[in-house]
Structure 1
Amino acid sequence: MTFLVTGAAGGIGRAICETLSEQGHGVLGQDIVAGERVDADLVGDLCDARFLEKLGDRLTSTEVKAVVVGHGIAGAGRLEEMCVNQARRIMTINFESVIRLWDLSQRQLEATNGTFVVVISQAGLVGEAGNALYCASKFALSGWMRGVGATTKVRLRAINPGGIRTPLLEQALHDMAKARGITYEQFVETRYGTSPAGRIAEPAEVGDLVAIAIALKTPALVEAAITGGEVLW
């Protein structure tokens, strides 16, 4: 089977590609920048209509059985200091681009009894101080998937990670600490030092969960949280 993974140059996307490849699956990696796990002809913007047309042709020609959405951008910071253009960019990349990808792949996945996996975030389950716009984009994804789940034959999987050791999280934690007026070290200790797991998770742990989610035969929407107990859900 062949799977498409978006955001394949990032920490979580790359780990998902590696896990699926190790299990013997064919993997097509996409990202807006080139990377170790990104196919040379799949470097492009998921918000660009011309690239989406090209991606659609590739999905059909390779009979992709699962689409894994692993891309996204951070959105932490003091809400009053963030402009409308920043808000639009966060919502466009984290939410709208996923809908476009769904529209592109839905018919094929329905025909092949395929799976559509979205790596959302625990920020799509609970609000986080200093992270309002990011939460808004992830709550939108959670609500959208629950609505779509009631109308499609495609197996939907929503993965909600907590803190995962990636450059994206590092930047978000710095921005959230700044928004709260404390140091990065203080914020990390407050948030993760007292959580049940007592640590930040590794990208490979998300890769393992995604592989399990794809393998599940349950036809309905399945939602899973990997938060180290930080969010009890």
Structure 2
Amino acid sequence: MSTKTVLVTGTSSGIGLATAVAAARSGWHVVATMRDTGKAGALLAAAEEAGVTVDVRPLDVTDPASVEACLGGLDRLDALVNNAGAGHVGTLEQEGVDDVRAVMEVNFFGVLHVTKAALPLLRASGGRVVTVTSVGGVIGQPFNEAYCAAKFAVEGFMESLAPVAATVGVSVSVVEPGAVASEFVENVGLADNALELAGPYAPALSAYLERTRGAFANAQASQEVAAELVELLAAERPAFRVLTSEAARAFAGVKLKDLDGSAVQAMTGGWVA
């Protein structure tokens, strides 16, 4: 395991940081990437505390040149963890299509850029692609239209890619957390006066935010998700889908057995009533 290399995107905080440290503790050579390496302080401190080292490199998943420079600098790659992403709260009538495109660039096309660049190296090593999606890639959620659309797209893309990649020796998996205690929620771009600006959607948004605060009060720790990811990296026969908590399994299970869509609509409709 000490000779194997994993590249993890979005490691400045949250799941990415915890995964980079946990993988290093498990014997992986970790290439820990982030858009701004000036924000590597928390990662480096956590690695030092754990008694491990990580190889920090710049990578902006939305910039093909940055992706090529980072992946082109690797001689070997045994696993890729697509973790970089950004939350977004909003609804269609009140935001521009360019706002939606920006969400797709980070959460969907960023995953594609990095995976495409990694596949030749992963074919050579018989490696694996692990992509952190979300239960929001299984169930569409109010005021998360753009974010869930991006995560649905990632789920569909990876589910379709998996059997093709398997023919050349590369396994593909998705990991679906529910609510996770990290800086992710702080980065959804919601203005302080969002309710004032919400107009006719203000009552629904207020109800949604109250429900969400409650959900994240009981959120799973990033380290728990990281442990699931590291276990998946080491699995002899990795599963395609991994839900990281009982809450995530229960939530996604509503959709997976909801053939006419009524159960999901009844559930999420209650969030904004």
Q: Distance in 2 between matches of 1:185 and 1:158?
A: 27
* % identity of equivalent residues: 25
| Match 1:169 to one of 181, 185, 191 | 185
Out of 195, 214, 233, the position equivalent to 1:214 is 233
Asked if structure 1 preserves the Cα contact closer than 8 Å seen for 2:179 and 2:215, the reply is no
Provide closer, same or farther for how the CA distance between residues 50 and 41 of structure 1 changes in structure 2, counting only shifts above 3 A: farther
Unaligned 5+ runs, structure 2: 45-53, 196-201, 254-273
1:20 alignment partner in structure 2: 23
Q: Residue type of the partner of 2:206?
A: I
Ranges in structure 1 where 5+ consecutive residues have no aligned partner: 194-198
* Distance in 2, Cα, partners of 1:171 & 1:27: 25
Instruction: Show the counterpart of 2:67.
Output: 52
Q: Residue 142 of structure 2 contacts residue 208 of structure 2 at CA under 8 Å; is this kept in 1? A: no
1:116 aligns with 2:129: yes
Give the stretch that moved more between structures: 223-232 or 40-49.
40-49
Is the aligned partner of 1:3 residue 2:6? yes
Aligned length: 224
Q: Is the 8 A contact 1:13 1:71 kept in 2?
A: yes
* Letter of the 1:167 counterpart: E
The answer as to 2:243 corresponding to 1:225 is yes
Does structure 1 residue 155 correspond to structure 2 residue 171? yes
Q: What's the TM-score once normalised by structure 2's chain length? A: 0.74
Q: What is the distance in 1 between the residues matched to 2:161 and 2:127?
A: 15
CA distance in 2, matches of 1:203, 1:157: 19
Q: Deviations over 1:41-100 (max 9, x none)?
A: 7223222232222112223x2x12101011001121222212111111110110011111
**Which of structures 1 and 2 has the larger relative contact order (alpha carbons within 8 angstroms, sep 6+)?**
1
Comparing 50-59 and 5-14, the one that deviates more: 50-59
Deviations 1:133-162 (A, max 9, x none): 100000000000011012112111100000
Matched position secondary structure for 1:19: helix
Q: Which residue of 2 aligns with 1:204?
A: 223
Normalized per residue, which structure has more helix? 2
Deviation per CA, 1:16-36, whole angstroms, max 9, x where unpaired?
011111112111111111213
Q: Would you say the 8 A contact 1:74–1:168 is kept in 2?
A: yes
Question: Could you say which residue in structure 1 is the equivalent of 2:266?
Answer: none
Q: Give the structure with higher Rg (CA).
A: 2
Aligned to 1:31: 34
TM-score by length of 1: 0.86
Aligned to 2:211: 187
When the two chains are superposed, the root-mean-square deviation of aligned CA atoms in Å is 2.5
In structure 2, how many angstroms separate the alpha carbons of the residues matched to 1:232 and 1:93? 23
2:67 aligns to what SS in structure 1? helix
